[in-house]
């Protein structure tokens, strides 16, 4: 969905623009700088970015502190973006990711928000192969300087209703 479903100027719209619109466009363009602009700058009061990999498991004991810094996450994100871009054109990637991405939860408490983004779809590559996009990410966002920022996430979680292999 490339259309913002929330009222213009609302916090929900600002979060959708950041977590869906700008994220998908940056990924499809392999433009880390555009994506990085939405991460909360680190300082002593915010503690900086953290990224947890859920390893496609709904069991927290399987999760790992995979991205202790934004630079660590950058390498993972750019690798995935460049790998996808080598197999599909920008428009195909953007359309597939927009179609697959939904914010299924936005809960705001003052300047803190928890947003759950669910991916459910497929990408068809130039060679005809398809890739299933099936995971979800819980983003921790903070509002500072009159805008929303990504402070961290628990990502690579199994899709809702996942019961594991087998």
pLDDT at position 166 is 39
What residue spans define the domains of the chain? 11-157
**Do the Cβ atoms of 101 and 93 come closer than 8 Å?**
no
pLDDT > 70 fraction of the chain, expressed in percent and rounded: 93
pLDDT at position 46 is 57
**Do the Cβ atoms of 153 and 51 come closer than 8 Å?**
yes
**Do the Cβ atoms of 140 and 152 come closer than 8 Å?**
yes
* Whole-angstrom distance, CA of residue 115 vs CA of residue 20: 11
Looking at every residue in the chain, the average pLDDT score rounds to: 91
- Of 99, 87, 157, the C-alpha closest to 124 is 87
In DSSP terms, 121 is beta-bridged to: 133
Average pLDDT over residues 46-57: 83
* Whole-angstrom distance, CA of residue 24 vs CA of residue 93: 8
129: exposed, middle or buried (C-beta count within 10 Å: 0-12, 13-18, 19+)? exposed
- Of 70, 72, 76, the C-alpha closest to 36 is 70
pLDDT at position 21 is 97
**Do the Cβ atoms of 130 and 121 come closer than 8 Å?**
no
User: Is 63 a residue whose pLDDT tops 90?
Assistant: yes
In DSSP terms, 64 is beta-bridged to: 53
CATH 3.30.2320.50 fits 11-157, yes or no: no
Residue with tokens 């869906």: 20
pTM: 0.89
Spacing of C-alpha 116 from chain mean position: 9
pLDDT one-digit tens code per residue, 102-115 = 999 999 999 999 99
User: Is 90 a residue whose pLDDT tops 60?
Assistant: yes
pLDDT one-digit tens code per residue, 116-164 = 999 999 999 999 999 999 999 999 999 998 999 999 999 999 987 544 4
């Amino acid at each position: 969905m490339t259309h913002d479903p929330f009222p213009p100027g609302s916090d929900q719209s600002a979060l959708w623009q950041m977590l869906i619109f700008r994220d998908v466009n940056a990924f499809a363009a392999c433009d880390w700088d555009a994506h990085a602009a939405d991460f909360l700058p680190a300082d002593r009061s915010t503690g900086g970015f953290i990224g947890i990999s859920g390893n496609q498991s709904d069991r927290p004991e399987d999760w790992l502190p995979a991205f202790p810094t934004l630079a660590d996450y950058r390498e993972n994100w750019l690798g995935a973006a460049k790998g996808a871009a080598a197999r599909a054109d920008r428009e195909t990637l953007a359309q597939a990711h927009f179609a697959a991405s939904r914010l299924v939860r936005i809960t705001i408490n003052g300047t803190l928000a928890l947003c759950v983004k669910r991916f459910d779809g497929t990408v068809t590559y130039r060679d005809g192969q398809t890739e299933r996009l099936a995971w979800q990410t819980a983003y921790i966002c903070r509002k500072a300087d009159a805008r929303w920022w990504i402070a961290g996430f628990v990502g690579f979680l199994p899709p809702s209703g996942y019961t594991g292999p087998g």
